[in-house]
Structure 1
Amino acid sequence: MTNAKLLEQFRSFYFRNFPDDMETQIEYFAIFGGLGLEIDTTKPISFLIEDIILQNFDELNQKIEQLTLNETNYKRLLTALAIGDRRIFSAFRRAGLNNGNGGGALNFLQEKGLIQIEYSREEPAKSLNPDGKLKKEIARHRISHKVLFTYPFIRFWFYFIYPNIRHIKNGDYEKFFKDFETKQNSYTSLVFEELSEVLLNYNLRDAQILSSGSYWDAKIEIDILTVTNKEKVYVAECKWTNHRVNKSELHKLQEKCEKLDIEPYQVVLFSKRGFSKELKQMQGKYLALYSSEDFEALLKNASNTQLIGNLFELNI
């Protein structure tokens, strides 16, 4: 998802619903973002899911089927991308697709505007000896791009609804809510990570950003790696958990940077519930800390006239 598109949806959701705080904004946006509906964010999220989504399942499912042409391969791939590691090749395997029909499904979903590709920045492995050969496990490694969903609601549907569709059609919501209770924080983490990149780059708006996004290779993943034209490198990790982030997360990120031979200009940590006292004392030029309430900065230059249309009006 492009930063501009995500930011537009984030602002739209806020000015439609005016949640009490940014934690609520992020949590509810991760589910209902893109639907273009007014949501009463003072009500429990499980109540709203049942009232808005499950009780209107037939209507919403019909629109999803129109978006996907009711093509099984498209829906299987969307589910694999939603619940997996977002890597294209592993999603093909999870969905039972090959490079041919998987590639065709991927192209359709991209052209339909439901997903977009996040390109890998991993460099192909090379032997130090010009005439040498790579180890088998290294040579077999395939650099794989990842996928981001354009609308949070579409990812929610294929993360939670579609895998439980048989029960939901029969009016049985027990398994759905059990899955949701277990996986909600994990599910919301990706949206939080995307929004964190938006906030980081928003605060770097005076700099020319050459490259930004997550970084991954065969062994290491970093939530956000941003490089500016002045060769300043910013690395960040995002934690959507119900406890404060402590110093160990900083050490883990620093170890990743050492393995990648990266010397960051600034290390950034994003947290749902804040940070330990020790981390707060370390905050400065090298270490920046952002909690949920800091995402209010993304609303500063927006107004309630900047509302996007309904998801299905944009795609049908």
Structure 2
Amino acid sequence: MIKKQFRSFYFRHMIHDIEKLIEYFSVFGGLGWKVDIDASLEDLIQTEILDNFGSLYNQITELTTNEPQYLKLLTNLARGDRRIFSAFNKSGLTNLSGGLSLKHLQEMGVLEAEYSREEPPIKDNNKLKREVARHRISHKMRFTSPFLRFWFYFIAPMKKEIELGHYQKVMDNFRQHHQAFIGYTFEELSNVLLKHKLSSSQLVDSGSYWDRHVEIDLMATTLDNKLIIGECKWKNHKLNKKELNKIHEKCEKVGFEPDILMLFSKRGFSKELLSMQDKELRLYSCEDFEDLLSNISQADLIQGFERE
């Protein structure tokens, strides 16, 4: 879905600066209407979202039925690590009530599941350590569009302030967290680019990997049993060899022996890292995401929320 939304957003706005395209898409992707790309992101948040809060709130409420437990859950999923049990705990929900909430929100097209690929611990004659025995493998949830995640990350928790016209608190919060927020959208798009580069016919699966030890942005396996590990960094500097060392450290923790390593960077790579690039180390910058935008046409347009 995110690839279709990305192509639709590009066709509607024709932002040729890929870094800017990803930044604006992370907020307005899936909203479904054209915004003034010459305006700053902060100005657009005010004019397109905060000034249209009432209309958007009513449309989103149709999806969530304005249930307080849904709103708490969605906010915690947007702001947290997206793990189901973690979000239940933060929202004060039991596994039963949380599960029913997720079922409804999936049926309404707000969320979709991302299933864990963590292997359960192997039991032998000895008892498992307490921390291992108590650990629960948890799936994650992701929002079906960047805009919905933006809404429940920055907008819904500040409903009262927005209705009173106190926009400054919303914008201060956005300035503080927006780089990390955009980083997740970059990770999702990096997974799309990974699939594009390797071709889906070679892949068994791809997506993030997490367990009680590590979080890995991307892990993919191929039909010929190759393991691909990737990390995505939305940082305002070039990545250097330290990032490569961090990936190796993560892999060692969980016993992974990757055949291919991939790094995705907002601002490119150091000369040292570029000199190391080969079939086993593949480096991708913002410019490479242009590959996802070929042969764009009117047919790529997706409708979203109605504009007041």
Q: Is the TM value for this pair above 0.5?
A: yes
Which residue number in structure 2 is paired with residue 74 of structure 1? 70
Distance in 1, matches of 2:201 and 2:240, equals: 29
2:299 partner SS = coil
What does 1:99-138 align with in structure 2 at a 5 Å threshold? 99-127=95-123, 130-138=124-132
Stretch deviating more after TM superposition (48-57 or 202-211): 202-211
Q: CA deviation at 1:234?
A: 1.0
Question: Does 2:241 correspond to 1:262?
Answer: no
2:283 partner SS = strand
Question: Does 2:14 correspond to 1:13?
Answer: no
Which residue number in structure 1 is paired with residue 237 of structure 2? 243
Q: CA deviation at 1:242?
A: 1.1
Question: 8 Å contact 1:24–1:41 — kept in the other structure?
Answer: no
2:16 partner SS = coil
Distance in 2, matches of 1:104 and 1:166, equals: 27
Which residue number in structure 2 is paired with residue 144 of structure 1? 138
Q: CA deviation at 1:149?
A: 0.6
Distance in 2, matches of 1:271 and 1:206, equals: 22
What does 1:109-258 align with in structure 2 at a 5 Å threshold? 109-127=105-123, 130-205=124-199, 207-258=201-252
Tell me the amino acid that sits aligned with residue 211 of structure 1. D
Distance in 2, matches of 1:35 and 1:176, equals: 19
Q: CA deviation at 1:87?
A: 0.1
Question: 8 Å contact 1:7–1:298 — kept in the other structure?
Answer: yes
1:264 partner SS = coil
2:207 partner SS = coil
Q: CA deviation at 1:245?
A: 1.1
Question: 8 Å contact 1:19–1:42 — kept in the other structure?
Answer: no
Stretch deviating more after TM superposition (35-44 or 180-189): 35-44
Alignment coverage as a number of residue pairs: 307
Question: 8 Å contact 2:241–2:273 — kept in the other structure?
Answer: yes
2:59 partner SS = helix
Q: CA deviation at 1:303?
A: 2.2
Unaligned runs of 5+ in 2: none
Which residue number in structure 2 is paired with residue 302 of structure 1? 296
1:171 partner SS = coil
Unaligned runs of 5+ in 1: none
Q: CA deviation at 1:41?
A: 1.6
Tell me the amino acid that sits aligned with residue 235 of structure 2. T
Question: Does 2:269 correspond to 1:275?
Answer: yes
* Identity fraction in percent: 52
Q: CA deviation at 1:258?
A: 2.1
Match among 42, 47, 62 for residue 46 of structure 1? 42
Distance in 1, matches of 2:98 and 2:163, equals: 27
Stretch deviating more after TM superposition (8-17 or 94-103): 94-103
TM-score, structure 1 normalization: 0.94
2:237 partner SS = coil
C-alpha RMSD of the superposition: 1.3
Stretch deviating more after TM superposition (71-80 or 198-207): 198-207
Stretch deviating more after TM superposition (79-88 or 34-43): 34-43
Distance in 1, matches of 2:102 and 2:171, equals: 29
Which residue number in structure 1 is paired with residue 31 of structure 2? 35
Tell me the amino acid that sits aligned with residue 203 of structure 2. I
Which residue number in structure 1 is paired with residue 18 of structure 2? 22
